[in-house]
Amino acid sequence: MKPRKTYRLVVEREPGWWIVQIPELDLTTQARRLGDVEKNAREAIAALLDVGTSTFDLKQEVRAPVGVLQELDEARALMDRAATLREESADRIGQAVDKLIKDFGLTMREAGKLLDLSHQRIAQLVERARRGTRV
């Protein structure tokens, strides 16, 4: 039995439409909804090749608009930067807490009250500062 041909669908969103390209056939169609892409592509391919709509397979590759991908990349970069800043902030708070305890003789509870942090968090920060590790 001869294997069925599989056509690749490159699906991209344009305002109001999903644009469907079938590169192997140099064919383009469209659909209002993503759920209609396969049906519309099958009908376009079947009409072009004069075959039944169920005589071939499809493989969809849905792509986000370039502008959206750029926004996501920028958002991810900001999230990475924020995570780095959170780590640096925790390091500095840990150093400040360590100074309060070592240099000023405060207890962890006193340091917590002064900084509006729980004594448990103060203990974590002290341990972090002493080890040079992240908590």
1 occurs within a structural domain: no
pLDDT of 134: 55
pTM over 0.75: no
Q: What is the mean pLDDT of each run of 10 residues along the chain (135 residues)?
A: 91 95 98 97 98 96 91 96 92 88 91 91 83 62
Number of domains in the chain: 2
Domain co-membership, 85 together with 53: no
**Do 89 and 119 belong together in one domain?**
yes
Neighbours of 92 (CB within 10 A): 12
48 assigned to some structural domain: yes
Same domain, 99 and 126: yes
- Does some domain include residue 42? yes
Tokens standing for residue 19: 């644009």
Listed in order, strand segments (DSSP E) in the chain are 6-14, 17-22, 27-31, 57-63
Same-domain status, 125 and 107: yes
Residues 58 and 106 in one domain: no
Are residues 106 and 100 in contact, defined by beta-carbon separation less than 8 angstroms? yes
Q: Assess whether 77 and 124 both reside in one domain.
A: yes
Same domain for 52 and 103: no
User: Measuring CA to CA, how many Å separate 43 from each of 33, 38, 47, 80, 104?
Assistant: 15, 9, 6, 45, 79
Question: Which range marks the domain in which residue 22 is found?
Answer: 6-63
